[in-house]
Amino acid sequence: MPRKIVIVGSGGRLGAALLREWRERGEEVVGFNRELLDLGDFSAIRERLDALEFDVLVNCAAQTNVDRCECEPEEAFRVNSGGVAALADVCTRKKARCIHISTDYVFDGTKEKPYTEDDEPRPISKYGESKLSGERCLQAVSDRHLIVRVSWVFGPDRASFVDQIIQRALTQDRVEAIADKISVPTYTLDAARLLWPLVEQPEVGGVMHLCNAGECSWQQYGQHALNCAAALGMPLCTQHVEPLKLAEMKNFVAARPRYTPLATKKFTGITGITPRPWTEAVEEYVRTIPVGGASA
């Protein structure tokens, strides 16, 4: 029997992928983009969701502009924390499970090996603080709800770093990216497949890290994307990504953690699935998806 699933934030990269991929599985999925449901409007959350019957709610919505969060922390906490608390309240009253998407930015980036779910979060930006606050709002309500942390999300439903780096290389003879900030890309189509086993196991709660395997800098990420594009014969003006230092990014308002790869050993232990390397996912994306995003 199909599950009744609600996806909040279905207009974003991950939410759109979940909506499409899970509908193709035959599940009964309802999506709310920001126009239909603003996470900062608590009364609208209760009004819209109280009228629905559902078994699982996946929250992909957030204020993700890191510098805007730093400049407007009240909005950041209202959306990323208060909105999550409102969703948790509705889900708890309906006895539905909430799966909340969070971020690697809850960590300070000072560790020298991938972060596990047992590592203590220490955010260094208002964005990270507001996302951690949202996690704690959910955890305070019930231990059957699930927090899924992802990083560097890319996919076909909205242009991302991969699209941007290739587009620049198609029109410019110099392309740059930060070489001393490390994390892991997460392909939305992989995430949709990998998340499904967690939907099927309602007893799994707490915190879970989910991303592709490996780690890279923004420069390495971009260079691999250009290598894939060049192999396909795209008319690039340059095939090289020049290095930048994080300290050189004077336009950044908020601090960024330097090293935040997420370990997925817990996910593999529960599901028996090992995520594929990020390099394979990027290669597939560049090969099969029109540059710029299919629905950007």
At 23-57, the pLDDT tens digits run 999 999 999 999 999 999 999 999 999 999 999 99
Tens-binned pLDDT, residue by residue, of the chain (296 aa)? 678 999 999 999 999 999 999 999 999 999 999 999 999 999 999 999 999 999 999 999 999 999 999 999 999 999 999 999 999 999 999 999 999 999 999 999 999 999 999 999 999 999 999 999 999 999 999 888 999 999 999 999 989 999 999 999 999 999 999 999 999 999 999 999 999 999 999 999 999 999 999 999 999 999 999 999 999 999 999 999 999 999 999 999 999 999 999 999 999 999 999 999 999 999 999 998 765 433 33
Count, residues in the chain: 296
Q: Are 154 and 228 a contacting pair, CB within 8 Å? A: no
Exposure string of 199-234, with b = 16+ CB inside 10 Å and e = fewer, is: beeeebbebbbbbbbbbbbbbbbbbbbbbbbbeeee
| Topology annotation, domain 4-157+184-213+260-273 | Rossmann fold (3.40.50)
Give the predicted TM-score (pTM) of the model: 0.95
256 DSSP 8-state letter: -
